[in-house]
Chain A
């Protein structure tokens, strides 16, 4: 391998960036799902997910 510092440095930086972006997107999704679950658990739902008014009574 010629110029290993530059070749492995490039692949290492690209891998680190890609892993960071994947992790950030995935963790963001997990946190949002948890927030939605917490809201639903406290009885706050979207209008389309609420039972019809008549049936609720």
Chain B
């Protein structure tokens, strides 16, 4: 294996669950500490900046709604990359990563839906409308729940991994639909105002708390994802050891 390039070697090192556990044990405390500091700064900025001249203080809902909505799509994208890893390379951690991410994605999507609904009532006059953006995000939430249920419904882990991976990739079509729904259809939800080619249309005083909270949410996701992957690796090792113990007990009889 001496001709293997250092980059591939590093990648294959991470594919080893034992090395992953050692790396995550070092990373998780640092990530958690940075996340806590960013949340403290973000929340301070979120409540110390001025309210909007039209929306009043409801603009502060944006600092949790937008990061949660970003994460709901980012999490599904990570699951889709993991699904490719499962189907193409049979990466030992790919299925673990997808399985661990699904409940987190569902939680952040629910936060985006509920906070959006609570923002909608005072601004739009209604908690909910079946417009393209809201409906496609609701479908994303249902897909997360469906993927969790499907994965847990099958007894054979390798079959569950492959079937779930296929469904994840089929469902990825919903991500560009969510992203461009506000441009393709007439929606009550506003169109894109941050990631635009001509720059954000939001004032800088709102952007700072938004970016700080978005970074805090993103690091929170990665901290929780690492922890959830670690838990899943342990769960699979425990199941393997129990099977081994049962075989040894059967041999002794």
A contacts, CB < 8 Å to B: 1-4, 6-7, 9-11, 13-14, 17-18, 20-22, 24-26, 28-29, 32-33, 35-36, 39, 42, 44-46, 48
Is the Cβ of A32 less than 8 Å from the Cβ of B235? yes
Is the Cβ of A3 less than 8 Å from the Cβ of B58? yes
B141 to chain A, nearest CB (A): 13
Is the Cβ of B238 less than 8 Å from the Cβ of A21? no
Given contacts A10-B119, A24-B103, A36-B234, 14 further A-B contacts (CB under 8 A): A1-B57, A3-B58, A6-B118, A6-B119, A7-B58, A10-B118, A14-B68, A21-B104, A25-B228, A29-B230, A39-B241, A44-B241, A44-B242, A44-B244
Tell me how many residue pairs across A and B have CB atoms closer than 8 Å: 85
Is the Cβ of B242 less than 8 Å from the Cβ of A39? yes
Chain B contact residues (Cβ within 8 angstroms of A): what range? Answer: 35 or more
Known: A10-B114, A13-B114, A33-B234. A3 touches B122 (CB 8 A): yes
Is the Cβ of B119 less than 8 Å from the Cβ of A2? no
Distance between Cα atoms of A32 and B209 in the complex (Å):
37
9 A-B pairs closest in CB distance: A2-B56, A32-B234, A10-B115, A10-B61, A14-B64, A10-B118, A2-B57, A44-B245, A6-B118
* Residues in A neighbouring B238, C-beta threshold 8 A: 32, 35-36, 39
Interface of A is mostly: helix
Nearest B residue (CB) for A25 = B227
B contacts, CB < 8 Å to A: 18, 51, 56-58, 60-61, 64-65, 68, 103-104, 107, 110-111, 114-115, 118-119, 121-122, 220, 224, 227-228, 230-231, 234-235, 237-238, 241-242, 244-245
* Residues in A neighbouring B121, C-beta threshold 8 A: 6
Interface of B is mostly: helix
Nearest B residue (CB) for A28 = B231
B48 to chain A, nearest CB (A): 13
The contact sample of 25 A-B pairs, CB cut-off 8 A, is A2-B56, A2-B58, A4-B57, A6-B119, A6-B121, A10-B64, A10-B65, A10-B114, A10-B119, A11-B64, A17-B107, A18-B111, A18-B220, A21-B103, A29-B227, A29-B234, A32-B231, A32-B234, A32-B238, A36-B238, A39-B238, A39-B245, A42-B245, A44-B241, A44-B242
Contact among A3, A13, A24, A48 for B111, CB-based, below 8 A:
A13
Contact among A3, A17, A18, A22 for B57, CB-based, below 8 A:
A3
* Residues in B neighbouring A26, C-beta threshold 8 A: 227
Is the Cβ of A22 less than 8 Å from the Cβ of B224? yes
* Residues in B neighbouring A22, C-beta threshold 8 A: 224
Distance between Cα atoms of A18 and B68 in the complex (Å):
11
Is the Cβ of B118 less than 8 Å from the Cβ of A13? yes
* Residues in B neighbouring A4, C-beta threshold 8 A: 57
Nearest B residue (CB) for A39 = B241
Distance between Cα atoms of A4 and B122 in the complex (Å):
11
B125 to chain A, nearest CB (A): 12
